[in-house]
Amino acid sequence: MGDLFGDDTGRPECSLVNDCYRGLQGRLPDSAGFSDWVDLMRAAMAAGEQAVKDLAYQIALGFLQSPEYRLRDRSNEEFLEDLYNGILRRGALKEEFAGWVGYIDAGMTREEVLRAFTDSTEFQLRVQAIIDAMGSPR
């Protein structure tokens, strides 16, 4: 990744953007798109902790609402796999996956599921790493 996008790719805000591309779009980022998302996150970092928390959700939502994601025509199960890969950076445990399928089958929207994933302690630890890096040189 460093050869493609420079040395910044090890930073937590860059990892979050890369993971959204990889997990939600099923591909590596293009240079312009990567830079645009990272620039937005760095502007949020300059604005403070709440701006970072808000933008982390907005970035993920932007990927899910994009024409590119919609063209992938993902089933509910594939959508959940995408969230586990792109948001939590792992595969789902069988029991938790079945629980989320049940929530969607009961009428929970994809946006509500995304909000639950991004509000989770597991994801918020990733967001906290971005917040912790706010004073670090880029």
Is residue 88 within 8 Å of 126, Cβ to Cβ? Answer: no
**For the whole model, what pTM was predicted?**
0.87
Q: What is the DSSP letter of 81?
A: H
Band of pLDDT at residue 8, cut at 50, 70 and 90 = very low
Task: Render pLDDT for 25-62 as a digit per residue (tens, 0 to 9).
Answer: 999 999 999 999 999 999 999 999 999 999 999 999 99
Is residue 1 within 8 Å of 18, Cβ to Cβ? Answer: yes
- Separation between Cα atoms, residue 137 and residue 132, nearest integer Å: 12
Domains of the chain: 9-135 (1.10.3130)
Structure-block tokens of residue 56: 């982390």
In this predicted model, which residue has the larger pLDDT, 7 or 124? 124
Helix, strand, coil percentages (3-state) for the chain, rounded to 5, are 80, 0, 20
